[in-house]
């Protein structure tokens, strides 16, 4: 495997948590307390776990001068590392709430000040209000129970056996896992998929790209979009298809010179967090950054199928994507940031008219787990990226139209299926403090198609043809 918010006051409930002893839950590793320690809750209820909730500084940025980008990217990566380190201290019992949060605030304050200085020194106005983002708080969530069945229809005995193995593995490594409440039987979910109707002049074609299932084992915990030049900038492992050399140190030139796993020569890079069985087994990255060192443990599942399709607009024609356009869909920090940017969808084959954003599906026997990433399809017409990696692209309105000033692009839709044994616990890789919540799932894309290949895709889509 290659290795390449505003200030919030602690509520009384969190103050109670801060003075209690930390316990490492087998297969858990978060701080576990009796739920009665939180004000107004029944001590006999299920236990809760605490994690660290910090405002997302990167999401607040709107402009960053080119000269300041390397320094800003480095400081943002430092902020992520500081939170990950603080979570490790919390989960291991080496630190208590108030002291931990106070030290973290001091660290973040210095890093945020340095980030702001870099922007100011590059000629832009020093951003206002970032210093108020240094303070973090505790966030509670249901605790993982390794012996619990994630939902109806599962193999309870098999799940408990796997949980026991995960407990031993978690005790050795101090790693976290999802809770039972993070799973739901897909049969209990009502159909919820609605699509806008095509208008006259809609672009109804499609362009499909075949890039395999990462058979060549291209993994790393980098994120060249959010943390360029920083090893382990994601703090979780990514699966890659397409461009063969993508890592933290890739440049536009290196991406354009790279080989590809795509059969039509598309050099674009497509990547997403790996999905793991929480089976207690030591994967190759069990002691590595992005893997076990960052609370991501268990067997990495290879996708059963990966489909990559570019689709049209229901209201008109699409324009070509610029080469090296970057798009992120979903939010890797949605558990603490909130679901505003969450976008990945979970479902099961045979039930894909039912999509989940904040739950893992429990699929019936013979049905596969499905992850779907439907990317933003409106572009500002100027920028291949933006300071927060979001504002240069946007989702279409409910009727399929783009907001004023934005143009319709071919819409990237990635569909990834997995064969998951019935009753198995599984989880997506995440930042340690995000606790492997399904709402944190996300996909990343850099368009490295040649101009000729992109033009072919646009013609197919606008002409209503299905092309490969």
pLDDT average, residue stretch 254-281: 97
Q: Tell me what pLDDT residue 156 has.
A: 30
Residue bearing the bigger pLDDT, 391 or 422: 391
Residue bearing the bigger pLDDT, 208 or 21: 208
Check pLDDT > 70 for residue 39.
no
Q: Tell me what pLDDT residue 48 has.
A: 64
Task: Name which of 43-57, 116-130, 263-277, 452-466 the model is least confident about.
Answer: 43-57
What is the end-to-end Cα distance of the chain in Å, rounded?
31
pLDDT average, residue stretch 135-153: 67
Task: Name which of 126-130, 153-157, 456-460 the model is least confident about.
Answer: 153-157
**pLDDT tens digits, 95-141:** 777 899 999 999 999 999 999 999 999 988 999 999 999 999 999 88
**pLDDT tens digits, 226-263:** 999 999 999 999 999 999 999 999 999 999 999 999 99
Check pLDDT > 90 for residue 164.
no
Q: Tell me what pLDDT residue 98 has.
A: 86
Residue bearing the bigger pLDDT, 36 or 231: 231
Domain coordinates in residue numbering, the chain? 12-142, 162-467
pLDDT average, residue stretch 317-343: 97
26, 167 contact by CB (below 8 A): yes
pLDDT average, residue stretch 68-84: 97
Q: Tell me what pLDDT residue 36 has.
A: 31
Q: Tell me what pLDDT residue 377 has.
A: 98
Task: Name which of 52-56, 146-150, 339-343 the model is least confident about.
Answer: 146-150
* pLDDT band, very low/low/confident/very high, at 13 (cuts 50, 70, 90): very low
* pLDDT band, very low/low/confident/very high, at 40 (cuts 50, 70, 90): very low
Mean pLDDT of the chain: 86
Check pLDDT > 80 for residue 76.
yes
SS3 for the chain is CCCCCCCCCCCHHHHHHHCCCCCECCCCCCEEECHHHCCCCCCCCCCEEEEEECCCHHHHCCCCCHHHHHHHHHHHHHHHHHHHHHHHHHHHCCCCHHHHHHHHHHHHHHHHHHHHHHHHHCCCCCCCCHHHHCCCEEEEEECCCCCCCCCCCCCHHHHHHHHHHHHHHHHHHCCCCCCHHHEEEHHHCCCCCCCCCCCCCCCCCEEEECCCCCCCCCEECCCCCCCCCCCCCCCCCEEEEEECCCCCCCCHHHHHCCCECCCCCCCCEEEEECEEECCCCCCCCCCCCCCHHHCCCCEECCCCEEEEEEECECCECCCCCCCCCEEEEECCCHHHHCHHHCCCEEEECCCCCCCECCCEEECCCCCCEEEEEECCCEECCCCCCCCCCCCCEECCCCCCCCCCCCEECCEEEEEEEECCCCCCCEEECCCHHHCCCHHHCEEEEECCCCHHHHHHHHHHHHHCCEEC
Check pLDDT > 80 for residue 41.
no
């Amino acid at each position: 495997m290659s290795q390449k918010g505003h200030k919030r006051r602690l509520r009384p409930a969190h103050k109670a948590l801060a003075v209690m002893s930390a316990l490492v839950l087998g297969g858990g590793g978060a701080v576990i307390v009796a739920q009665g320690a939180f004000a107004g809750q029944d001590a006999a209820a299920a236990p809760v776990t605490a994690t660290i909730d910090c405002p997302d500084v990167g999401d607040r940025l709107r402009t960053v001068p080119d000269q300041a980008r390397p320094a800003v990217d480095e400081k943002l990566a430092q902020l992520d590392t500081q939170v990950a380190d603080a979570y490790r201290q919390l989960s291991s019992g080496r630190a208590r709430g108030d002291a931990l949060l106070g030290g973290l605030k001091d660290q973040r304050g210095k890093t945020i000040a340095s980030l702001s200085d870099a922007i100011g020194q590059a000629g832009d106005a020093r951003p206002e209000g970032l210093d108020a983002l240094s303070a973090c708080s505790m966030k509670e969530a249901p605790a993982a129970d390794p012996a619990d069945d994630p939902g109806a229809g599962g193999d309870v005995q098999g799940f408990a056996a796997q949980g026991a193995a995960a407990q031993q593995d978690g005790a050795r490594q101090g790693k976290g896992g999802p809770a039972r409440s993070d799973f739901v039987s897909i049969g209990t979910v009502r159909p919820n998929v609605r699509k806008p109707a095509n208008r006259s002049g809609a672009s109804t074609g499609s362009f499909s790209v075949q890039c395999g299932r990462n058979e060549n084992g291209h993994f790393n915990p980098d994120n060249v979009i959010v943390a360029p030049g920083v090893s382990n900038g994601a703090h979780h492992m990514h699966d890659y298809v397409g461009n063969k050399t993508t890592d933290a140190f890739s440049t536009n030139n290196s991406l354009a010179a790279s080989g590809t796993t795509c059969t039509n020569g598309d050099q674009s890079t497509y990547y997403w967090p790996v999905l793991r069985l929480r089976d207690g087994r030591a994967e190759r990255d069990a002691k590595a950054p992005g893997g076990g060192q960052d609370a991501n443990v268990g067997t990495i599942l290879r996708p059963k199928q990966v489909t990559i399709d570019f689709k049209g607009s229901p209201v008109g024609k699409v324009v070509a994507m610029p080469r090296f356009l970057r798009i992120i869909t979903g939010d890797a920090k949605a558990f603490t940031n909130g679901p505003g940017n969450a976008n990945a969808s979970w479902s099961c084959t045979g039930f894909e008219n039912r999509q989940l954003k904040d739950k893992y599906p429990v699929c019936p026997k013979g049905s596969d787990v499905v992850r779907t990433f439907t990317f933003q399809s409106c572009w500002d017409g100027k920028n291949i990226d933006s300071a927060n990696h979001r504002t240069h692209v946007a989702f279409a309105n409910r009727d399929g139209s783009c907001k004023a000033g934005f143009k319709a692009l071919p819409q990237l839709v990635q569909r990834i299926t997995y064969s998951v044994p019935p009753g198995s616990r599984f989880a997506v890789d995440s930042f340690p403090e995000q606790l492997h919540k399904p709402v944190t799932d996300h996909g990343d894309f850099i368009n490295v198609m040649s101009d000729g290949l992109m033009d072919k895709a646009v013609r197919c889509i606008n002409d209503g043809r299905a092309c490969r």
